[in-house]
Structure 1
Amino acid sequence: MGRSRYKQHEPWYPYLLTSSFVHGLPLFSKPEIVNFVIEAIKHHQYKNDLKVYAWCVMENHFHLIAEQEDLKTCMQSIKSYTAKQILDFLRSKNYQLYLKQLAFSRKRGKKESVFQVWQEGYHPKQISTEKILNQKINYVHFNPVKRGYVDKPEDWRYSSARDYLGGSGLLDIQRII
């Protein structure tokens, strides 16, 4: 992962995390690719005690408000696993344009892969109060509304907004409201 001014200093707080595809590629427009990320997050919830407070997947990035002792390792694992799954999927569907763009995006010094799927880093921003947590949850949930994809946050399938209205979404979350 790249160097970042954002770091997890105190693991007992939740953090707002954001991960984006290189060049803003709209890979999450494919439901199969969204499912890779959801399954990876679920794995870390059950195997590594990742607590998810809110989440939202957009066409080219995802937001996660989460808490875990070692978020850096957790996010590296999620991104590494999903990158492999995404590349396998793109190859199986012969999506050559995407594959060429991901090959072009590879950092020069990286020898372990021909492709780069994710932008480096995940920008952890510590959330130290309940007021800020509520603000960040609203920010995450209103992402698809601001983009004009839905009128109400709970109408977006790939988000935890429904959970906060008493429904159930695609991931288990730690509701705070």
Structure 2
Amino acid sequence: MSRKYKFRDQDKLYFVSFAVVHWIDVFIRDEYRQVLLDSLTFCQEKKGLEVYAYCLMTSHVHLIIGTHGAPMADILRDFKSFTSSQLRKAVTEHPQESRKEWMLWMMERAGGRNGNNNGFQFWQQHNHPLVLNSNFLLQQKLEYVHTNPVEAGFVDQPENYLYSSARDYAGGKGLLNVLLIE
């Protein structure tokens, strides 16, 4: 990973995005999305992860996060490693997963091409953390996270997308506990 894309200041908020290898649309099933939500909750409760905004799309995740616990790079490394193994298991065991063989083949193919893995890769390697060091940048990324499902054509209003913190910012209650940015 380039030096340019490291978590340098643990006291800052960061925008991160990460995607499934080959942009495979894995997160179309509730069971798979729940693995991510449960893992984020665990990181909040046990590792000191602070989630300020999130959006789970079909092939990728957007987060605005901070920490006053473990180093951010360690939290994301553990999160991606754990969810990778849990999601592989969930795909393998899902009785109605018609794309099972293809998805596992694509992930094994990606893992075989990457010396950092043991023949299997779920997530793309990079996170490209962007430090949110100005109010303008923070608001820009918050809007980007929340309008992603609108731009994709899933909903007409950000707060109508269930797998996003947009409903928290609209005065409702989302699926994760988020710290609202004032």
The answer, yes or no, to whether TM exceeds 0.5 is yes
In 1, Cα distance between equivalents of 2:54 and 2:148: 10
**C-alpha spacing 1:31/1:19, structure 2 compared with 1 (3 Å):** same
Q: Which runs of 5+ in 2 are unaligned?
A: none
Q: Secondary structure at the match of 1:120?
A: coil
Q: Is residue 18 of structure 1 aligned with residue 17 of structure 2?
A: yes
1:12: how far off? 0.7
Residue 28 of structure 1 corresponds to: 27
Which range moved further: 107-116 or 154-163?
Answer: 107-116
Residue 102 of structure 1 corresponds to: 107
In 2, Cα distance between equivalents of 1:4 and 1:121: 12
Residue 77 of structure 2 corresponds to: 76
> For each residue in 1:117-137, what CA deviation from the matched residue of structure 2 results, as whole angstroms up to 9, or x when unmatched?
000021100001223212111
In 2, Cα distance between equivalents of 1:160 and 1:109: 33
Residue 140 of structure 1 corresponds to: 145
Which range moved further: 6-15 or 86-95?
Answer: 86-95
1:17: how far off? 0.6
1:79: how far off? 0.5
| Native 8 Å contact 2:146 2:165 kept in 1 | yes
Matches within 5 A, 1:24-103: 24-69=23-68, 70-93=71-94, 95-103=100-108
1:47: how far off? 0.9
| Native 8 Å contact 2:111 2:117 kept in 1 | no
For normalisation by structure 1, the TM-score amounts to 0.93
Q: Secondary structure at the match of 1:151?
A: coil
Letter in 1 for 2:38: E
After superposing on structure 2, the runs of 4+ consecutive aligned residues of structure 1 that deviate more than 6 Å are: none
Residue 164 of structure 2 corresponds to: 159
For normalisation by structure 2, the TM-score amounts to 0.91
In 2, Cα distance between equivalents of 1:108 and 1:22: 12
In 1, Cα distance between equivalents of 2:83 and 2:105: 18
The number of residue pairs the alignment matches comes to 176
Percent identity of paired positions between Structure 1 and Structure 2: 33
**C-alpha spacing 1:4/1:30, structure 2 compared with 1 (3 Å):** farther
**C-alpha spacing 1:167/1:143, structure 2 compared with 1 (3 Å):** same
Letter in 2 for 1:151: D
Which range moved further: 69-78 or 138-147?
Answer: 69-78
| Alignment partner of 1:171 out of 148, 170, 176 | 176
In 2, Cα distance between equivalents of 1:35 and 1:45: 15
Letter in 2 for 1:123: H
Q: Secondary structure at the match of 2:15?
A: strand
| Native 8 Å contact 1:4 1:121 kept in 2 | no
